A and B are shown apart, each in its own frame.
Chain A
Amino acid sequence: MRTGEVWPLNVGQVYTTLQRLERDGLVESGAGDGEGPQKDYWLTVDGRRELGVWLRTPPDADAPPRDELVIKVLVAMRVPGTDVHSVIQAHRRHLVEVMQRYTHIKAEAAENDLGLAIVVDAELFRLDGVVRWLDAADARVSQAGIIPDLPVTDVSDQQTNVLGRR
């Protein structure tokens, strides 16, 4: 299974899952007649049908995940003395640095490594979406005229005090 080395894959988990699929009649395996420790598995007719259904079933995108970054920006807006723009910029820089690392992987990969390009693109588009959201939040904060009234260096103490009283 190729994941472009972007996601780690637990081999034990792979075999546990294959055994369950075999138990349910969705895959069959060879009787260990191959060379080496690897065992061959193939789809049954039921398995191919089940796979077809799974491939076309949308993952749950309705419920928004609890997003820590959204919460941090909301907190930054609520805590007096916080420079929201510098908080947003810290996250923007970090995200772009992560995107640079992914792009580096794509740039150095063989041009015909389609699987890797698609996996890396998925991460890049996701991160790009977060950067765009930060850009929009930044612009909204500017338009709303939220102005920091304390230097950035004092922010951490201020945050601790304010949050500590809650």
Chain B
Amino acid sequence: MSVMLEMLGVSKVYGTGATEVRALMDIDLSVDRGELVAIMGPSGSGKSTLLTIAGSLEDPTGGKVMVDGADLSEMSPNDRAMMRRRSIGYVFQDFNLLAGLTAAENVSLPLELDGVNSGTAIASALEALRSLGLEDRAAHFPDDLSGGERQRVAIARAVVGSRRLLLADEPSGALDSVNGEAVIRLLRDTCRRGMAGVVVTHDAQLAAWADRVVFLRDGRMVDNTMPPPGPESVLSGPGQ
């Protein structure tokens, strides 16, 4: 078991003086490969800020963030951008697929942006789509897919290539409960195969799929659940 994401004493303050907003305070969070962690909290508790900082989309004002052992604050902007493109996958509530591209093109895009040649990128995209049961949807445009299928394409885009950290913000928010369950089940299975996952949600049914649930309140981690017992627990899961 190795640590993929480590946040140490992370804080985020917006503004100064009277307008200062402390979005996050003193966050310590460690997520291992193969582990899915849920961050629960009400609106304004800082959970989305935590995710954007973990994904290096935003800088903390205090503390440090390590992804796969590398301290983000010590990396050059180019190296960080490369880390974001190659190692980190994002899944959002509203899918964020490009309407003018097919499912396969949406999934291959991050690889092509990273300089992978088109043929190899498409092959990897098809492999990711196949792993999510979407091989027969590869040539469809997002408008021709159901909500559940669109989110599965978004997950394929987040796991394509050699991504190691999966970050999801309310990934089932736009879906009904059965399709939402299918999405979180896929995220969990993806983590079981070796990625580290963080899912941010206010939905307890979604969070209950995680190995560990961390509770945020007013920017602070106030509590967390213990990993569920049993031999099927991720601690002794396959490939660990």
Please determine whether chains A and B interact with each other in the same assembly: yes
A103 and B208 contact, CB distance less than 8 A: yes
What are the interface flags for B101-112 relative to A under an 8 Å C-beta threshold, 1 for contact and 0 otherwise? 000000000000
**Chain B 40-52 against A: per-residue CB contact (8 Å), 1 yes, 0 no?**
1010000000000
Q: Which residues in A have some Cβ–Cβ distance to B below 8 Å?
A: 85, 89, 92-93, 95-97, 99-104, 107-108, 124-125, 127-128, 131-132, 135, 138-139
- Write out the residue numbers on chain A whose beta carbons fall within 8 Å of the beta carbon of B217: 85, 89
Q: Bound state CA distance, A95 and B207, in angstroms?
A: 12
Contacting residues, chain A, for B203 (C-beta < 8 A): 128
A97, A127, A132: the one within 8 Å of B225 (CB): A97
Query: When A101-B228, A104-B228 are in contact, do A128 and B42 touch as well, CB less than 8 Å?
Result: no
B239 contacts partner chain A, Cβ-Cβ < 8 Å: no
Q: Does B213 contact A (CB under 8 A)?
A: yes
Evaluate whether A108 and B232 lie within 8 angstroms (CB atoms) in the complex, with A92-B215, A96-B40, A138-B42 already known: yes
A99–B228 touching, CB < 8 Å: no
User: Is B204 interfacial (CB 8 A cutoff)?
Assistant: yes
A13 to B209, alpha carbons, bound, how many Å?
A: 35
- Chain B residues within CB distance 8 Å of chain A: 40, 42, 185, 188, 202-205, 207-210, 213, 215, 217, 222-226, 228, 230, 232
What is the CA–CA distance of A135 and B217 in the complex, to the nearest angstrom? 11
- Contact of B42 with A96 in the complex, beta carbons under 8 Å: no
Say yes or no: B226 contacts A97, CB within 8 Å: yes
Q: How far is the CA of A131 from the CA of B204 in the complex (A)?
A: 7
Whole-angstrom CA separation of A158 from B24 in the bound complex: 32
The winner among A85, A89, A103, A124 for most chain B CB atoms within 10 A is: A103
Assuming A107-B209, A135-B202, what are 12 further A-B pairs, CB within 8 angstroms? A92-B215, A93-B213, A93-B225, A96-B204, A99-B205, A101-B228, A103-B208, A103-B209, A104-B228, A104-B232, A128-B203, A128-B205
